[in-house]
Structure 1
Amino acid sequence: MDMEVATGDVLAVVGSNGSGKSTLLRILVGLSQPTTGSVSGRPPRIGYVPDRFTGHDRISAISYLTHMGRIRGLSTSAARARGHHLLERLSLVGGWNAPLRTLSKGNAQKVALAQALLVQPDLLVLDEPWSGLDASAHSVLAEFIDEVAAQGGAVVFTDHREAITETHARGAYTISDGRVTSRGGRHAGSRTSMVELVLTVPPTGIMPIEVNWSVLPGVTDTAQRGGEVVLRVAREHSDAVLQTALQHRWSVASLAEAADERSCRADARGTAL
């Protein structure tokens, strides 16, 4: 295999279960060693979120982050302040001072993300980072990824949903039969067309059935806007998501091309002129 990660890259690693995605990420960050070959140019500051977070379960989220920040060279006050800032952005539910063992999977994942970002990483490696996150944290994670890349870092992540990788990655590596091959992402090939679906309570007043929208194929972002649910969906999956919404008694307020899709089309027209 031959894999290169450059400054500013946002790369996805895709493959079937058991194909070796997590092993490749562990080799990338230095937690595992390749049986043959070598890894060169590994940067000094690496943020890593494993597929299973195993922080010490008896200490609180903020105590854990403060401790990890101290290990990475921050003062106690700076580590604590940075931890507070990250947990606030991620909207941690369950209490910053509650033991880690009392947190839900999604909130434990928020702590894992925060520890990876305590110090601005040169390389951020995320193993299924969207797994278990609530809707509000999906867009925040996307912001973190963009911020790391914009500040000269590189990001490598895995996710089993193609819509996620097509939306957030600028390139991708596929693992199959023990081989790693490069393929284009949203900036190196065809770009997945996205739509914005806005759902609301029907005018009859009958309450719709709750749906975990983020796990549906094609849904890359979810948000609450007043009494509405706003979904960002890959166009090829929009019919299926609409059907699910209607089956669960949701009313469709609007369905339109996503804002950034319209912006890209306008930019293209401007360039042509």
Structure 2
Amino acid sequence: MRPDLCLENAGRRYGLRGPWVLRGVDLTVAPGRLVRVEGANGTGKSTLLRLLAGIDAPSEGRITGRPRTAYVPERFPPALPFTAVGYLTHLGTVHGLSRTAAARAAGEWLERLGAAAYADTPMARLSKGSSQKVAVAQALLAEPELLVLDEAWTGLDTDARAELERAVAERTAAGGSVVFVDHDPRRLAGLPDTTYAVRDGSLVPCDVAGPLPSGPHVTVEAQGPPDGRLPDDVRRTAASAEETGPGRYRLTVPAPHSDLLLRALLTSRPPWHVVRVAPRPDAPGSSR
């Protein structure tokens, strides 16, 4: 497993004598973790994400444990001399995929995000929403170990926003880590392992205890070996997990992530038996 990504007393300013945007930041991002970053506009959230993504280097302090990283910036440059699929295929090869594998992954992500019809459209002619779908797709092509999302949901339609949420769940369930900023407080509400706020150039942890997010949920009852431990990827995907008997659990998961949870149960070794799946439109209190 890859090591933790660590920021140690990290600071960033622009110019030799410019004001400090961030200073004294200590942050550890472990594999499989979902981390939310909050803060008012102009507080340094995007600067922090650029440090995590390796786009900027710290002006002081250090960063260790650099994983394979993909980044969706707040503003994506659409006027590039490629078609959508050509750009994604090119980026896939940069990430180390063969051209064939890159083209296949490009097509799959354009399909998932609802942009397959624009595969052969020049980037400069894409709408803002379609361009943002390409921005998201390029970050997911090569299954990054760290995914950094800076307002990545902005401009996406409802289906694409849900698909990006599923992709986040897939990355963390596979042992990757995700750090994100989003202006909507309901985005992935109740799911982050840790939430931080950027205030006055410093990073402070937030108390995120509380109820599950509102919206449709699914309840899954599953049976494993009597002495079996709930698989880690199942535990990471579920919003709550209640042991109701030896090796038997009642799991609650946001509806967009239910297919990922079921796949994790059925493909675990040994596989778990799914006893019951039922919609649960209310948001019960969390037992995580």
Determine which structure has greater relative contact order: mean sequence separation of CA pairs < 8 Å that are 6+ residues apart, divided by chain length.
Answer: 1
Structure 1 counterpart of 2:59: 35
Determine if the alignment matches structure 1 residue 5 to structure 2 residue 29.
Answer: yes
Shift of 1:158: 0.2
Shift of 1:148: 0.2
Structure 1 counterpart of 2:46: 22
Checking the alignment, whether the CA contact within 8 Å between 1:94 and 1:103 is kept in structure 2 is no
| 2:114 aligned residue (70, 91, 95) | 91
CA offsets per residue over residues 133-180 of structure 1, 9 Å max, x none? 001111101100000000000000001121215244232110011110
Checking the alignment, whether the CA contact within 8 Å between 1:9 and 1:155 is kept in structure 2 is yes
Structure 2 residue matching 1:111: 3-state secondary structure: helix
Q: Which has the larger displacement, 164-173 or 5-14?
A: 164-173
| 2:177 aligned residue (149, 154, 162) | 154
Map 1:191-210; keep pairs closer than 5 Å: 191-195=211-215
Map 1:94-173; keep pairs closer than 5 Å: 95-164=118-187, 166-173=189-196
Structure 1 residue matching 2:118: 3-state secondary structure: coil
Question: Structure 1 194/129 Cα, relative in aligned 2: closer, same or farther at 3 Å?
Answer: same
Shift of 1:102: 1.1
Distance 1:165 1:89 in 2: 19
TM-score (norm 1): 0.69
Checking the alignment, whether the CA contact within 8 Å between 1:21 and 1:158 is kept in structure 2 is yes
Q: Which amino acid aligns with 1:9?
A: R
Shift of 1:261: 4.4
Determine if the alignment matches structure 1 residue 259 to structure 2 residue 280.
Answer: yes
- Where does the alignment leave 5 or more consecutive residues of structure 2 unmatched? 1-24, 217-254, 256-278
Question: Structure 1 68/56 Cα, relative in aligned 2: closer, same or farther at 3 Å?
Answer: farther
Structure 1 counterpart of 2:210: 190
Identity of aligned residues (%): 41
Structure 1 residue matching 2:134: 3-state secondary structure: helix
Q: Which amino acid aligns with 1:190?
A: G
Q: Which amino acid aligns with 2:56?
A: S
Structure 2 residue matching 1:52: 3-state secondary structure: coil
Distance 1:51 1:79 in 2: 24
Q: Which amino acid aligns with 2:91?
A: M
Checking the alignment, whether the CA contact within 8 Å between 1:193 and 1:261 is kept in structure 2 is no
Residues matched between the structures, number: 203
Shift of 1:2: 1.3
Checking the alignment, whether the CA contact within 8 Å between 2:30 and 2:177 is kept in structure 1 is yes
Q: Which amino acid aligns with 1:126?
A: L
Structure 2 residue matching 1:116: 3-state secondary structure: helix
Checking the alignment, whether the CA contact within 8 Å between 1:29 and 1:46 is kept in structure 2 is yes
Question: Structure 1 167/193 Cα, relative in aligned 2: closer, same or farther at 3 Å?
Answer: closer
Checking the alignment, whether the CA contact within 8 Å between 1:55 and 1:64 is kept in structure 2 is no
Structure 1 residue matching 2:196: 3-state secondary structure: strand
Q: Which amino acid aligns with 2:210?
A: S
Report the aligned-residue RMSD: 2.2
- Where does the alignment leave 5 or more consecutive residues of structure 1 unmatched? 197-231, 233-257, 269-273
CA offsets per residue over residues 100-122 of structure 1, 9 Å max, x none? 11111111111011111111111
Distance 1:69 1:193 in 2: 34
Question: Structure 1 5/261 Cα, relative in aligned 2: closer, same or farther at 3 Å?
Answer: farther
TM-score (norm 2): 0.66
Q: Which amino acid aligns with 2:32?
A: G
